[in-house]
Structure 1
Amino acid sequence: MGQPAEALTWNFACPDWVERLKAGKSLLPPLPLNDNEAERAVAIFNNLRLPDVPGQPFMADAAGEWGRDIVRAIFGSMVEGERQVREVMAMVPKKNAKTTNGAAICLTALLMNERPRAEFVLVGPTQEIADTAFQQASGMIDADPYLKQRFHVADHRKAIYDRVLKATLKIKTFDMKVATGSKPVMVLIDELHLMGAISYASRVIGQLRGGMIANPEAFLVIITTQSDEAPAGAFKTELDYARGVRDGRIANARMLPLLYEFPEAMQVDQAKPWQDPRHWHMVLPNLGRSISLDRLIEEYQAAVDKGLQEERRWASQHLNVQIGLALHTDRWRGADYWEAAADSTLTLEALLARCEVAVVGVDGGGLDDLYGLCVAGREKDTRRWLYWFRAWVYSEVLELRHEIAPRLLDFKRDGDLVIIGHNGGPTLDDDDLDDDTPPPELLDERDVREIVAIVQKVKDSGLLPEKGAIGLDPEGVGALVDALAAIGLEHPQVVGVTQGYRLASAVWSLERKLKHRMAAHSGAPLINWCVSNAKAEQRGNAVIITKQAAGKAKIDPFIAGLNATKLLEANPAAQGGGVDDFISAMKAA
């Protein structure tokens, strides 16, 4: 093109993406691409054959436009020897030929490559997915006489060698060794959403990015489906970044986003407009090729017949609908109404300003648990119950529970979880900890100190009732009781809340309040996760809330919320009138 890179406009934002999806148009924003190079790469991509379909049709006929958009952007963006589109993130639902397109992009890159002995890497989250990608790539080579002559396929090593430039495409399973000593020209990561629970995923991706710096033409492609759980870890980080670029919130971005998803308004609308098949074309760029609408409708109806949990899982995978709560079959019934009750403006300060009375619930467990706190209040005029949550955890839990470590780090970044540094291990960076590792004698007091500071703030607001102001799980709260006494809070303001079946009234009260829109909460991902982990068990006439899965499924902040609910049930008053006066008034009436 003859122009220096800085003279060109490489803006990856696509503010009209919703209109484009509705019209079936490309999500590729206007970029100053080298059309000759872009179309040369697309021609290579189009001439590859599908290896596992009768007749082995060309990609020109079998592939949707989204795959060609990636090829155009990557190979048409070389300016003075440096690639301007260095990263692409494509989020495409299942059955839209993601892995096949990924293999075809890798072979296109090999054929467009000009660097001798260059290294190309395709990374799958599991051995099965990596094997599938390798079979697609090797099958495309077997289907073309020229490619069979050009490339050597080493099945035992899951590698493809270019006989001309000695370049190598390696297909690997994601682990810590993927980035070791690697300086790749290309990295393609398949199904990133499955890596969300891998504690070291962000670190490995960062190392891969670092290895590519040495090559000015290097690029990274991420192709994934939406997660069947709330996004977490590396997947959440990359998805949030891609959305920020697409929506224009992040300038001078490194990543080109191609996200086939419904707008948030369609996903959170209680009428669920995404359920209407007339809208599905928006997120299915391969519709009419690898997938048919009639077949999808049949599969969706089968998922609906199996229950809400399966419907949500199906929608996340086949329509990229983002899940907020994992609604399992034995869930707490209030979870069905939880998302609709979220109020993002409900900070602690806002709750205290809006309420006529406030109480505090606390639930502390062992060193393997979260220390949960909930401030709850009764709103003036409306009398709605409002909830705000926070939690604390020691960093050892991230080492012991690798499967939830990425999610806990997300909650820390959200500001809703404090990770107390203590013997931090290899999965933690310095900025993952929320303190400078105080002396050993203070390590077990930080959570208590900060809880007391929050309680003091509520106390200073004048909203605490004279009786039943702070409700605690009686087990293991000795240090907190002593600390509360030091600021003048003792029985009858500080009370024990018996757990188990005695919490049943709070369970029922809160779920009824949610159903009738008489309760609201801050909508923090932390408490959403805890609510989704809650399992309801019927025991006699009572309902018991337990963990959905031992160890990894934390519910402590939610239990703190139930403890606070138990106090609100007594209809407390901030000034005068406590629980006893309320009961006397009821008897007199």
Structure 2
Amino acid sequence: MSIAPPEGEFKRQLAYARSVRDGRITDPDFLPLLFTFPLTERPDLDPLDPSQWWRGMPSLRTDKQPGTMDAAELERELKQAADADDQESFALTLSQRLGIERNDSTASAESILHLHWDRCPRLIPSGPYDFVAVGIDAGGLDDPAAVCIARRPKAAQRRLELTVHQFLTQTGYDRAPGNLQEVYDEAIKNQTLHVHETTEAMRNTMFDLVSQAGADVVGGDEHGQTGFAQALKDATGKAFSSVPQTWVLGAALASLEGRLLDGAVSHSHCPLLMANVDNLLVEELANGNRRLKKRDNRLSGQGYAKIDGIISVINATALIDEHGHRAFDAGRLIG
């Protein structure tokens, strides 16, 4: 048995529950009941002694309390699950026997993206570049819009240099809860989040950024915001290429993760983008595809509720994979 600190989704939920309990986060719909072994209050007790587990486990059957199973049965099941080949059986045992909610994540929810994103080198532009793609997530009233400029150096065809800027209306900023505004403020200081009074002013700044990027291709979700694609074309002359928000995103994420494992991705480590990655849930489906969605909003106490920036990065990766291949010049053979 181990008393190692919690990890993954359970760690997130536990931190959120403690914040609600201690008054740091206000959530009238959530009443946390935390049963914690008294390590601080009773340093004389051994947390690995099964006779003491009842202190932090109300479902444990002892001579002091009724319960659903005794310590010997619990230890046997935990050991059997921990020794299994797959992590899922261990997660199921925790969920069913200990009453720990699994939420909507799986053992594979912490993807390569989550594990390697903050380990990427900081962006130092190398140039010259042979292909530039701009991925866009058009956002909404309360969601930031995001623009990712992905540049591929001529000297390193696998490498991606990512610059991400996000845009928000003043109304969207004002409507955000205080903890999310703190993350927004960090990103504003970092000059990677830009707040505008109107949607029109926000769009114009986005379009200026696209025009200056020298992009070979621009695109994203064509159904994301009515009229956005045409407005971008009118302002920049660039057609808006569709990136289907289906299995294509999962394939683009796999391509991005492959580059991460190769150490071939650099970015500016901007605060809001880092929070976006933390909130992205990668769900493995039975058919082998992957579905991308937000984590439970209750886990958003540190500003993780938005994923727009990382979706723009994945859109840009999809565009490079789809359009970034060199065209074969048959004219050179003909003369």
Bin of the TM-score, shorter chain as denominator length: 0.5 to 0.7
Rounded Cα–Cα distance in structure 2 between residues aligned with 1:536 and 1:569:
20
Rounded Cα–Cα distance in structure 1 between residues aligned with 2:19 and 2:312:
38
Which of the residues 304, 319, 322 maps onto 1:570?
Answer: 322
Which of the residues 232, 236, 252 maps onto 1:483?
Answer: 232
2:204 pairs with 1:458: no
User: One-letter code of the match for 2:172?
Assistant: V
Q: From the CA coordinates, give the structure whose radius of gyration is larger.
A: 1
2:138 pairs with 1:359: no
Q: 1:502 to 1:547 in 2, by over 3 A?
A: same
2:281 pairs with 1:542: no
Match of 2:60 in 1: none
Mind listing any 5+ residue stretches in structure 1 that lack a counterpart? 1-124, 130-173, 175-193, 199-289, 296-304, 308-327, 422-442, 585-589
SS of corresponding position for 1:569? helix
Which of the residues 163, 182, 202 maps onto 1:447?
Answer: 202
Rounded Cα–Cα distance in structure 2 between residues aligned with 1:456 and 1:471:
13
* Paired residues of 2:284 and 2:290 also in contact (CA < 8 A): yes
User: One-letter code of the match for 1:394?
Assistant: T
Rounded Cα–Cα distance in structure 2 between residues aligned with 1:541 and 1:393:
35
Match of 1:379 in 2: 153
Report 1 or 2 for greater relative contact order, CA contacts < 8 Å, sequence distance ≥ 6: 2
SS of corresponding position for 1:481? helix
Instruction: Note the C-alpha offset of 1:571.
Output: 5.7
Alignment of 1:402-441 (within 5 A): 402=177, 403-421=179-197
* Paired residues of 2:169 and 2:199 also in contact (CA < 8 A): no
SS of corresponding position for 1:382? coil
- Count of aligned pairs: 238
Q: 1:400 to 1:516 in 2, by over 3 A?
A: same
Rounded Cα–Cα distance in structure 2 between residues aligned with 1:446 and 1:409:
20
Q: 1:561 to 1:128 in 2, by over 3 A?
A: closer
Alignment of 1:255-294 (within 5 A): none
Rounded Cα–Cα distance in structure 2 between residues aligned with 1:126 and 1:505:
36
Q: 1:291 to 1:397 in 2, by over 3 A?
A: farther
Rounded Cα–Cα distance in structure 2 between residues aligned with 1:127 and 1:357:
48
State which drifts further: 477-486 or 494-503: 477-486
User: One-letter code of the match for 1:470?
Assistant: V
Rounded Cα–Cα distance in structure 1 between residues aligned with 2:230 and 2:114:
31
Rounded Cα–Cα distance in structure 2 between residues aligned with 1:457 and 1:126:
44
Rounded Cα–Cα distance in structure 2 between residues aligned with 1:503 and 1:446:
29
Identical aligned residues as a percent: 21
Rounded Cα–Cα distance in structure 1 between residues aligned with 2:19 and 2:246:
40
Rounded Cα–Cα distance in structure 1 between residues aligned with 2:171 and 2:234:
30
Alignment of 1:470-549 (within 5 A): 470-475=218-223, 476=225, 478-490=227-239, 494-539=240-285, 540-549=287-296
Which of the residues 326, 330, 336 maps onto 2:109?
Answer: 330
Rounded Cα–Cα distance in structure 2 between residues aligned with 1:335 and 1:127:
25
Give the TM-score normalised by the residue count of structure 1: 0.36
Rounded Cα–Cα distance in structure 1 between residues aligned with 2:293 and 2:19:
32
SS of corresponding position for 2:167? strand
Rounded Cα–Cα distance in structure 2 between residues aligned with 1:481 and 1:499:
19
SS of corresponding position for 1:359? strand
Instruction: Note the C-alpha offset of 1:420.
Output: 2.3
Rounded Cα–Cα distance in structure 2 between residues aligned with 1:507 and 1:499:
12
Match of 1:428 in 2: none
Instruction: Note the C-alpha offset of 1:329.
Output: 6.3
Match of 1:110 in 2: none
Instruction: Note the C-alpha offset of 1:127.
Output: 10
Match of 1:37 in 2: none
Match of 1:339 in 2: 118
Rounded Cα–Cα distance in structure 2 between residues aligned with 1:486 and 1:544:
33
Instruction: Note the C-alpha offset of 1:530.
Output: 0.5
Rounded Cα–Cα distance in structure 1 between residues aligned with 2:139 and 2:321:
24
* Paired residues of 1:547 and 1:555 also in contact (CA < 8 A): yes
Q: 1:358 to 1:291 in 2, by over 3 A?
A: farther
Rounded Cα–Cα distance in structure 2 between residues aligned with 1:543 and 1:502:
9
Rounded Cα–Cα distance in structure 2 between residues aligned with 1:126 and 1:535:
22
SS of corresponding position for 1:404? helix
Rounded Cα–Cα distance in structure 2 between residues aligned with 1:453 and 1:485:
12
SS of corresponding position for 2:112? coil
User: One-letter code of the match for 2:289?
Assistant: A
Rounded Cα–Cα distance in structure 2 between residues aligned with 1:455 and 1:127:
42
Match of 1:393 in 2: 168
Alignment of 1:215-234 (within 5 A): none
